[in-house]
Chains A and B, each alone.
Chain A
Amino acid sequence: MSRQVFAYIIHKNGKPDDTALEFVTTARKLDPNAEVIGVVVGSGADLDAAAGEAAKSYTSVWKIDNAALAYPLADGVRKALVSVLPQNAVILIPHEHFGLDLAPGLAVKLDSPYLPDVVDFAGLNGDTLTAIRQEFSGMVSTHVACDIAAGAVITVRPGAFAPDESTAAAGTITDKSGDVGDVAVGRRYLETLVAEVGDVDITKSEILVSVGRGIEDQDNLEIVHDLAKAMGADVSCSRPIVDAKWLEKSRQVGTSGQTVSPKVYLACGISGSFQHMGGIKGAPFIVAINKNPKAPIFQVADVGIVADILEFLPELTEAIGEAK
């Protein structure tokens, strides 16, 4: 009997997240011979819609419908999964805020090894799985290995695997709701406070001039605004700029900020951490300007310029102004 690899599907308003498509690739890379099952948890019409979408990519989908889980509360979802999943399940969960809530405890309750924030697999030898992770804020990578015979809980970095866009799976949806018992937990969801949109909604911007720590001082932001104005772009930034309170949170691009999908993205003085890059979707034309030639951003950008943004940006602004 082939291994069962479960892919936890995050969905909102009836639509699965991008990670759902990525996990098709992920599962295939983990074990090409495994039976891959998508798991959707929720309630009502939204859940049914999500399950239907998921079935386009997964040949098998397990649906867990429970009114108490209409809002996905990790502790409750965990109880549901523990009742439904086989003891030796290998389950993939996205390494983001929900996954961080769910996965560690799930690994304990399933008594399985836990591989967090995996960015790639390096081989499956019998039951020994080797994966690749990063440590020290992404400065170094490591190979980690564990025995998955008795199952494993694996969180996967969103965007680390390419999404499988094919929708020919025509999968079967199995309703597992009956297997779930009481999901009452000591945690109760109250509400979600939506961040103030601010004056500009960068998620809709086509051109972004994004600024990071390389700007050095709040007073220097002027040169960024000037450049954005000359380009007809909006200004966005990385997390440190928001932490320092130099720009509002609504301008932050990243996994804990906004997700943007511009046509052109100018990363000025941004090192290129994966948390920041994780907020950029689509495939924009990325220009990176940074005075450190070893900055990770030069790995992911299309065009790179080693320069001090404090000098370069005003010159670029001037040149654009003259050309107009």
Chain B
Amino acid sequence: MEPVLISPAKASILGIPTVIFSVLIPIAGVALFAYIMAKRVAPLVFSNPDFRFDRIPERIKGVLKLWLAQWKQPRYMLAGVIHIMLFAGFIILSIRSSSLVIVGIHDGFVFPGLKGTLGHVYNFFKDYAATMVLIAALMAAYRRAIVKPKRYDVPKKYGKPHTGEALFVLAMISGLMITESLFEGTMAAAAVKKGFEAEFIAPLTLAWIFKVSMTVLPIGSLQATHVIAYYLHDIIFFSFLCFLPMGKHFHVITSLFNVYFMKLDKGTVKPVKWGVADDKLDELKSFGVKKFEDFTWKHMLDFYSCADCGRCSDHCPANAVGRPLSPRFISIKARDYAFSHYPLRGPLKASEPLIGGIFEEDEIWSCTTCGACEEECPLMIEYIDKMVDLRRGMVDDGNVPQSLQKPLSALEKRGNPWGKMEKKRAEWAFKDKAFQAACPVKLLENGGNAETLFFVDSISSYDDRIIQITQSAARLLNAAGVDFGVLGRLEKDAGHEARRFGEEMLFQSLKEENTEAILASGAQRIVTADPHAYNALKKDYKGLPPVYHISEFIAEAIRSGKIRLNGNGDTGKVYTYHDPCYLGRHNNLYDIPRDVLDAIPGIRRVEMEKSRDRSFCCGGGGLMLFYEPIEEQRMGQLRVEMAKTAGANIIVTACPFCMVNMEDAIKTSGLEGEMEAIDLVELIDRHRAV
């Protein structure tokens, strides 16, 4: 039977059978791709270990939700939908693309299982997929070239805009769709012209448009177009494949792995070196990441996987206030370092120190570890662990900003960053005789036990303003009938920021002392009003009784009726709740504080636009209070503006550091009288029906 059109497998040009190209192009393409991939894998050979081969069911779930279902993409709706179109299209077309390669060698090849009805159904969907991908690519190109969303901008210090790279890839993707549809459309058009039965093409798809419009062309043109389209597709396909590992589209290959190997435990910090136990840390010659090869293989994979989308930096509070940190460029700069030091051609370049090289000191110290970047990243790229590792490296070299040295020394000597005396740690409970009489607090520093340990932590023990919150917390715990005690001078700073600022050994020392004191108290539960302490005790410490945030205790007490609330007027007051990073994002505790607030009769509460997992960091806690950043304004000031925009005049906080930063921002923004900050605990205390 006469073929409708001569297929590439059978065609020839100038007497040369084109099937030779069908064979050579894939061989060359795959060989080049394998070569490039080998070069890309090279740095991972020198990397530090990362234990991510366990917990397979959780990982598979993660892949299904985050990779296959593109769960995070709709956080930016338009871009997300466009990307889902591209991604879904690619997944569906993967079968078509593979079979196309073989079709050029073996005419009429179809994958086993797709010969019958299933094959037709597939062809139907794949046509829509290709059309969808083309539309998505054109929309994306329009956004890149015309709309130019801000998050794609490249600040001058980071180099030239990446628009060219983006448009080039979109052009290749469009080319793939067009050539594939041309290949199919020309065949169908020729069939129509010759009066044969044509393969059914889904209506209104690209291939259908080609089929319908190209019936006017002579068979010869259709034939030429058919073969040329095929080889164009082949060339573009393998060029695209080889181009993937060259830039931001590496994520097309690495995303599945990056998501599979993602970090499963939010709020934790990786050990100094996986496989080295805490008590063996002294044996390590070097701490932290000082050169590129000190990163773990997963972190290197992260750098490769960055799609340059800028969602992380768009939500980074440090970036928003003009600090020299943009998470996106942490990844891009590191990726480019890997590309240049492990080049495709030529010898490896000698390793250079990262700090003072691609990264600046202040860039790394600027991070508040709020986690907004990690929350946004659709590829599950981690930043906090890298920041901590880079800081560990700087601390190891003695390279710590002067403003942080005094508080670190005070933490070491006195167990709190202000250098206040240990014996005064529980003065908040005992110095004021009136308070002591009205609100008895068990002091466990000389023995004695309590069912619940109230871990106060440093700022809540020593800061005059925050002590007011601590006293409210104690009153509420008493009202709730909780048998609680405090460790007093036996309590040391939880060490949450000491660890995250890279002073691992100081953290280990604080952890040991606190763990010993907590276990000696015999407490069955721990409660704290400080989300940083909460996160530390829950995630950084081992072997402790369960840890709760005080809002959980209050919620329970309200539910059981032990605490009853009255709404006392509050006319004109509009409240908004500011999610602390270490309660919200890092520990998924969003609803309980809100439920507690809403239990106040008649309360008027509004949500800020950036709330829950998009909450905007107040400025940071612990050691971050001492650091002197380079910034245009303070995070707190931006946050207070957000509260105002939401229509609130009272910001409710649930973290002592948020309180410090909010009150500070209210003062420096000149909003005193217009805006107020109150802690959740204080608010409930105020509304308590006694």
Chain B 656-686 interface mask (CB, 8 Å, partner A; 1/0): 0000000010011010100000000000000
Residues B628 and A244 in contact, CB atoms below 8 Å apart:
yes
Stretch in A142-150, A214-222, A252-260 with 4+ CB within 8 Å of B: A214-222
Q: How far is the CB of A318 from chain B (nearest CB, A)?
A: 9
Provide the bound-state CA to CA distance between A219 and B630, in Å. Answer: 10
Residues B667 and A219 in contact, CB atoms below 8 Å apart:
no
Residues B670 and A219 in contact, CB atoms below 8 Å apart:
no
Please give, as numbers and ranges, the residues of chain B lying within 8 Å of A218 by CB-CB distance: 628
Contact of A159 with B by CB under 8 A: no
- Interface size of A by CB at 8 A reads 10
Contact of B634 with A by CB under 8 A: yes
**Residue among A218, A219, A220, A310 with max Cβ neighbours from chain B (10 Å):** A219
Q: How far is the CB of A223 from chain B (nearest CB, A)?
A: 8
Provide the bound-state CA to CA distance between A219 and B669, in Å. Answer: 11
Contact of B633 with A by CB under 8 A: yes
* Given A219-B633, A219-B634, A310 and B628 contact (CB-CB distance below 8 Å): no
Provide the bound-state CA to CA distance between A217 and B667, in Å. Answer: 13
Please give, as numbers and ranges, the residues of chain B lying within 8 Å of A219 by CB-CB distance: 633-634, 668
Contact of A163 with B by CB under 8 A: no
Between A and B, how many residue pairs show CB distances below 8 Å? 19
Contact of A314 with B by CB under 8 A: yes
Residue in A closest to B465 when the chains form the complex, CB atoms: A308
Interchain CB contact (< 8 A) of A314 among B628, B633, B667: B667
Chain A 190-228 interface mask (CB, 8 Å, partner B; 1/0): 000000000000000000000000000111101100000
Provide the bound-state CA to CA distance between A220 and B667, in Å. Answer: 9
In this complex, the interface size class of chain B, counting residues with CB under 8 Å from chain A, is: under 10
Residues B667 and A311 in contact, CB atoms below 8 Å apart:
yes
Interchain CB contact (< 8 A) of A220 among B403, B633, B668: B668
Chain B 625-651 interface mask (CB, 8 Å, partner A; 1/0): 000100001100000000000000000
Provide the bound-state CA to CA distance between A112 and B60, in Å. Answer: 84
Please give, as numbers and ranges, the residues of chain A lying within 8 Å of B667 by CB-CB distance: 310-311, 314
Residues A314 and B634 in contact, CB atoms below 8 Å apart:
no
Chain A 218-246 interface mask (CB, 8 Å, partner B; 1/0): 11101100000000000000000000100
Provide the bound-state CA to CA distance between A223 and B633, in Å. Answer: 15
Q: How far is the CB of B657 from chain A (nearest CB, A)?
A: 14
Provide the bound-state CA to CA distance between A220 and B672, in Å. Answer: 15
Q: How far is the CB of B323 from chain A (nearest CB, A)?
A: 13
Residues A222 and B628 in contact, CB atoms below 8 Å apart:
no
Chain A 40-79 interface mask (CB, 8 Å, partner B; 1/0): 0000000000000000000000000000000000000000
Provide the bound-state CA to CA distance between A244 and B353, in Å. Answer: 28
Provide the bound-state CA to CA distance between A244 and B668, in Å. Answer: 20
Residues 291-324 of A at the B interface (beta carbon under 8 Å): 310-311, 314
Chain A 104-129 interface mask (CB, 8 Å, partner B; 1/0): 00000000000000000000000000
Residue in B closest to A218 when the chains form the complex, CB atoms: B628
Provide the bound-state CA to CA distance between A217 and B633, in Å. Answer: 12
Please give, as numbers and ranges, the residues of chain A lying within 8 Å of B672 by CB-CB distance: 311, 314
Provide the bound-state CA to CA distance between A241 and B667, in Å. Answer: 21
Provide the bound-state CA to CA distance between A244 and B664, in Å. Answer: 20
Provide the bound-state CA to CA distance between A311 and B668, in Å. Answer: 9
Please give, as numbers and ranges, the residues of chain B lying within 8 Å of A217 by CB-CB distance: 628, 664
**Residue among B403, B668, B672 with max Cβ neighbours from chain A (10 Å):** B668
Provide the bound-state CA to CA distance between A259 and B645, in Å. Answer: 48
Provide the bound-state CA to CA distance between A314 and B670, in Å. Answer: 8
Q: How far is the CB of B371 from chain A (nearest CB, A)?
A: 25
Provide the bound-state CA to CA distance between A205 and B633, in Å. Answer: 31
Residue in B closest to A308 when the chains form the complex, CB atoms: B667
Provide the bound-state CA to CA distance between A310 and B660, in Å. Answer: 13
Chain B 217-260 interface mask (CB, 8 Å, partner A; 1/0): 00000000000000000000000000000000000000000000
Please give, as numbers and ranges, the residues of chain A lying within 8 Å of B634 by CB-CB distance: 219
Residues 602-634 of B at the A interface (beta carbon under 8 Å): 628, 633-634
Provide the bound-state CA to CA distance between A220 and B663, in Å. Answer: 13
Q: How far is the CB of B541 from chain A (nearest CB, A)?
A: 31
Residue in B closest to A243 when the chains form the complex, CB atoms: B402
Please give, as numbers and ranges, the residues of chain B lying within 8 Å of A220 by CB-CB distance: 668
Provide the bound-state CA to CA distance between A244 and B628, in Å. Answer: 9
Please give, as numbers and ranges, the residues of chain B lying within 8 Å of A311 by CB-CB distance: 667, 672
Please give, as numbers and ranges, the residues of chain B lying within 8 Å of A222 by CB-CB distance: 668
Q: How far is the CB of B621 from chain A (nearest CB, A)?
A: 15
Provide the bound-state CA to CA distance between A187 and B542, in Å. Answer: 62
Please give, as numbers and ranges, the residues of chain A lying within 8 Å of B664 by CB-CB distance: 217, 310
Please give, as numbers and ranges, the residues of chain A lying within 8 Å of B403 by CB-CB distance: 244
Residue in A closest to B630 when the chains form the complex, CB atoms: A218
Provide the bound-state CA to CA distance between A314 and B633, in Å. Answer: 18
Provide the bound-state CA to CA distance between A314 and B672, in Å. Answer: 10
Q: How far is the CB of B126 from chain A (nearest CB, A)?
A: 58
Residue in A closest to B403 when the chains form the complex, CB atoms: A244
Please give, as numbers and ranges, the residues of chain A lying within 8 Å of B668 by CB-CB distance: 219-220, 222-223, 310
Please give, as numbers and ranges, the residues of chain A lying within 8 Å of B670 by CB-CB distance: 314
Q: How far is the CB of B458 from chain A (nearest CB, A)?
A: 17
Provide the bound-state CA to CA distance between A310 and B663, in Å. Answer: 11
Q: How far is the CB of B331 from chain A (nearest CB, A)?
A: 30
Please give, as numbers and ranges, the residues of chain B lying within 8 Å of A310 by CB-CB distance: 664, 667-668
Please give, as numbers and ranges, the residues of chain B lying within 8 Å of A314 by CB-CB distance: 667, 670, 672
Q: How far is the CB of B160 from chain A (nearest CB, A)?
A: 33
Residue in B closest to A223 when the chains form the complex, CB atoms: B668
Residue in B closest to A246 when the chains form the complex, CB atoms: B628
Provide the bound-state CA to CA distance between A310 and B628, in Å. Answer: 18
Provide the bound-state CA to CA distance between A181 and B237, in Å. Answer: 95
Given A222-B668, A310-B667, A314-B667, 14 new contacts (CB under 8 A): A217-B628, A217-B664, A218-B628, A219-B634, A219-B668, A220-B668, A223-B668, A244-B403, A244-B628, A310-B664, A310-B668, A311-B667, A314-B670, A314-B672
9 cross-chain pairs, A with B, having the tightest CB-CB distances, nearest first: A310-B667, A219-B634, A220-B668, A219-B668, A311-B667, A218-B628, A314-B670, A244-B628, A314-B667
> What are 19 A-B pairs with beta-carbon distances under 8 A?
A217-B628, A217-B664, A218-B628, A219-B633, A219-B634, A219-B668, A220-B668, A222-B668, A223-B668, A244-B403, A244-B628, A310-B664, A310-B667, A310-B668, A311-B667, A311-B672, A314-B667, A314-B670, A314-B672
